[in-house]
Every structure is written in C-alpha cells, then in structure tokens.
Structure 1
Amino acid sequence: MPQAVGVIEALGFPATLAAADAMLKAGRVTLVYFDKAERGNFYIAIRGSVSEVASAMAAGLEAGEACFGGKIMTHYTVPNPPENIVSVLPIHYTDQVEAFRVY
C-alpha cells in the first residue's frame, strides 16, 4: 500500500494539538513526529496510506484554523516519499510510535 507523509506547522500549541487530534480521529494515520519550529510555531508529521493522509490533513487544517487564536502557517503532503527522505528526515516509524502504527 503506498504511504504518504503529511506535515502541518501551526502557530501555538493549542492549534497544533487540535490539528493532531482531528487528524488522528479522521483517518487511519500515525503521528510520527512533533517539535517546535520557531517563534511559537510547532509542527507535526503523520504517516499512513495516501488516501487516509489526505482526509486526515483536511481535518487537521480545519481544526487548527478553528482553534481560538490558531493559525496554520504552512502544510504539505508527500505521497510515496522515497526511502532516502524517510531515512534522513524525522518522519519514519520509530520504536516510540510503532505501538500506535495503523496498518
């Protein structure tokens, strides 16, 4: 099954939390990464099948914008990322998230 990666950067932790919550509830995806970006921005990355990531990203974008004071700064989806990208960037399934991986 082709895999995809979806990334959202949001202003403020509440908007990031709302986006992550909506994404995980809207699609069969796994949250694989979270970190601070800059100036109060945070970013999250999800993995799953191409169609599931697409629907989860739509829900996450809507929820992040709907959060009081929330603003989505940027977002991107990569369908079928090459193994080189997955092995170098922090978007692979780690031991920490493997227990939550959705097949």
Structure 2
Amino acid sequence: MNKALGLIEALGLTTAVTALDAASKAADVTLVGFEKIIGVGKSVGVNIQIAGEVAAVQAAVDAAVTAGNRVGVIFSSHVIPRPHDEVDALISKFAKNVKNKVNKKETKKVAKQENKEENKK
C-alpha cells in the first residue's frame, strides 16, 4: 500500500465528529472506518480510521487532534505511513463495517418513513 492509515481516538461522539470534520476539511482523506470503544478514559470512545496519501493523512490527523481537543479530549492519534500489505485486510474490514453501518441506518430510515406513510392512510 502506498497510502497511509491514520488513527484518531476520541472521547465521545461530539469530539469524534468534530475531529473527523476537521480532518476531512484539512486534506484529501477517506474515512475507512470507525469503532465505538467502551472503556476509553472510563467512558465511551470512538476510534476513527482515515486513509490517503502520507502527507495528507498526517495533515488531517494533526488538524483533527487540534479541533477535537478544543471540544473534548483526543486520547491518541497515530499515522502509519505505507503500512504492510497485511494491514490492507484490516483496512478492508474497516471499510466494510462503515458500509454495513450506513446501509443499516438507511434501511431503518426507509422502513420508518414507510411506516409513517402507512399510518397516514
């Protein structure tokens, strides 16, 4: 892989969304995954995984840490430049998790909308 993987671990969803927003605006990176983690700082944390060119990921992670710390707490961040090919399998798993989560939410939203329409009849 000629790209980099950036990892940002934030305390709480608001901090994570703020960090991701700043990262996305700072450089050309792609969200490849996110995970809720129970126990970070004795609370619920969110781990964000982004990918892109090495310099872009480094800039995005730096911007995310700065923005996230203004709103809440960023526990850790790390950039892995040009990760080993075996890490690609992990990145693919992250990407599938994001797609599955988005698809589930969209399916629920459509079902909810259909229920509202049926109840109006």
State if a TM-score over 0.5 links the two structures.
Answer: yes
Counting aligned pairs with the same residue, the percent is 37
Partner in structure 1 of residue 78 of structure 2: 76
In the TM superposition, what whole-angstrom CA distance separates every residue of 1:46-73 from its partner, at most 9, and x where no partner exists? 0000010011011000010011xx1011
CA distance in 2 between partners of 1:59 and 1:73 (Å): 14
Partner in structure 2 of residue 13 of structure 1: 13
Structure 2: segments with no counterpart, 5+ residues: 100-121
Structure 1: segments with no counterpart, 5+ residues: 97-103
- Change over 3 Å in CA distance of 1:94–1:12 after alignment to 2: closer
Partner in structure 2 of residue 100 of structure 1: none
Partner in structure 1 of residue 59 of structure 2: 55
Structure having greater relative contact order (Cα 8 Å, sep ≥ 6): 1
Normalized per residue, the structure richer in helix is 2
- The offset of 1:2, in angstroms, is 2.5
Letter in 2 for 1:14: T
Partner in structure 1 of residue 117 of structure 2: none
The answer (yes or no) to whether the contact 2:33–2:95 under 8 Å persists in 1 is no
Partner in structure 2 of residue 101 of structure 1: none
TM-score, length-scaled by structure 2: 0.71
CA RMSD of aligned residues (A): 1.6
Runs of 4+ in 1 over 4 A off after TM superposition: none
CA distance in 2 between partners of 1:80 and 1:74 (Å): 20
Structure whose CA Rg is larger: 2
The DSSP-based 3-state class of the residue aligned with 2:60 is: helix
The answer (yes or no) to whether the contact 2:10–2:73 under 8 Å persists in 1 is yes
Give the length in aligned residue pairs: 92
